[in-house]
Amino acid sequence: MIKDLNGALSVGVKGMKRSAIRELLKLVSRPEIISFAGGLPSPDSFPRQELKQIMMDIMDDEKESSIALQYGATEGDILLREQLVSRYRQQGLDITTENLIITTASQQALDLVAKIFINRGDTILVGLPSYLGGLSAFNSYGAKIDGIPLDEDGMSAELLEKKLEELKQQNVKPKFIYVIPDFQNPAGITMSESRREEIIALGHKYDVLILEDSPYRELRFIGEHQKTMYELDGTGHVILLGTFSKLFVPGFRIGWVIAHPEIVDKFVVAKQATDLCTPPFNQRIAARYLEKGLLDVNIKKIIQMYSVKQRTMLDLFEQHMPEGVSWTKPEGGLFLMVTLPKHINTNDMLVKAIQEENVAFVAGQSFFCDGSGTNTMRINFSYASNEKNIEGIHRLVNIIKKEI
């Protein structure tokens, strides 16, 4: 090992931090701990038998297996891209395969966005709170991140415009506005269609790109589906990110970017320097799975499963949470956010929760780019069984009552 490793490191690497969530997952792997920490889908949602048959069919077909086992195009498997384009066109998006590139899950897409658009010191705007994986990707490229608070309709358009105008007076132009409109991670809030239109209008007014992260849009339990910001915009101002990690299987690591062809071309070039292509075998399996119409069947199964878990959790909160505690009530997705009295620090409480009650959550401060949110926590309701969720909530309530 060289003597001065730190001196050899890049500026970007020196600014990187381990993910609080990924580190916590290692800590809470003991079987006695009930964890609400990860963003994991339920193992019961995985279509094992269907995938087994599709894999066998691919390997038994000489042409198919040759495609699946060979290097693939950086843009992605053409069959998968065509299936995704068809699916989005049915939802109202006017796109072709020229608008879509496959990525190694949406986390790579976030990293490529940062790689393509961010120079050190560039400003970007995000929700307050916002997805930790996005914040980590943007931080690693030296972005200056400003947070825009959320209200019940999502990112505040009024505060966003105020910030954009303030930056304009300073001759600062943000590179993009990062939003998660549907069942936002970590808050669980869904942005109303009118709010989406307001934010799009601000993007046009100040000529700023909008990055729309949409990992779980189809996991809606109640209420009406909202149009994507990409569809509402229709001008190429919005970049839309999607993934199969919450709808299908996270182990395949398949995501995608939908954008104007000129922007997609930049993603192709950036991805070629990163991993050449997303695993073709995984892509071809996913393509055949979509082709057979199995994804919609699985999504219905997931919605039924998660909606029961979420309803049970919300009912228990209503029954047992002490006064002064509030929480969001998502219309879908995998997460909700709990807010405790201001004097409670959930970073400190997390240690006690694991040691005294064998229950874990994610302390909310990780999701706030300004270091606030110390009295919040993110709760996942998708992973554990309903029985474990019930027991886990009782343990969580116990530690909250102790702290209060």
Q: What confidence category does residue 31 fall into, taking pLDDT thresholds of 50, 70 and 90?
A: confident
| pTM of the model as a whole | 0.94
Q: Is residue 88 part of a domain?
A: yes
Domain limit, last residue, from 256, 276, 294: 294
Containing domain of residue 182, as a range?
A: 64-294
300-to-88, 206, 296, 304 alpha-carbon distances in Å: 18, 40, 6, 6
**pLDDT at residue 6 in the model:** 75
User: Exposed, middle or buried, 278 (CB in 10 Å: 0-12/13-18/19+)?
Assistant: buried
Together in a domain, 33 and 135: no
Considering the domain architecture, whether residues 130 and 114 belong to the same structural domain is answered as yes
Higher pLDDT among residues 6 and 162, named by residue: 162
Distance CA 168, CA 5 (A): 40
Q: Give the pLDDT score at 7.
A: 75
Residue 54 lies in a domain: no
Q: What is the pLDDT of residue 303?
A: 98
pLDDT given at position 12 = 66
pLDDT at 22 over 60: no
Reported as a single tens digit per residue, the pLDDT across 69-110 is: 999 999 999 999 999 999 999 999 999 999 999 999 999 999
Give the residue-averaged pLDDT of 303-307. Answer: 98
Q: Write down the pLDDT at residue 356.
A: 94
Are 97 and 140 part of one and the same domain? yes
The position carrying tokens 């690591």 is 253
Q: Into how many domains does the chain fold?
A: 2
CATH number at residue 41: 3.90.1150.10
Tens digit of pLDDT for each residue in 308-365?
999 999 999 999 999 999 999 999 999 999 999 999 999 999 999 999 999 999 999 9
Residues 393 and 380: their CA atoms lie apart, in Å, by: 11
pLDDT, mean over the chain: 94
Dihedral sign, CA of 317, 321, 323, 326?
A: negative
What pLDDT, on the 0 to 100 scale, is given for residue 13? 65
Do 264 and 336 share a structural domain? no
| In a shared domain, residues 160 and 290 | yes
Q: Is the pLDDT of residue 27 over 60?
A: no
Examine the domain organization and report whether 201 and 72 are in the same domain. yes
Mean pLDDT of 245-260: 97
The reported pLDDT for the residue numbered 29 is 66
260 and 395 share one domain: no
User: Which of 239, 262, 294 is the last residue before a domain boundary?
Assistant: 294
- 1: confidence class by pLDDT, cuts 50, 70, 90: confident
The predicted model gives 159-179 an average pLDDT of 98
Contacts with 289 (C-beta within 8 Å, 6 or more apart), sequence order: 47, 50, 51, 54, 248, 295
On whether both 42 and 86 belong to a single domain, the answer is no
C-beta neighbour count of 75 within 10 angstroms: 19
Half-sphere exposure of 36 (CA within 13 A, CB side): 35
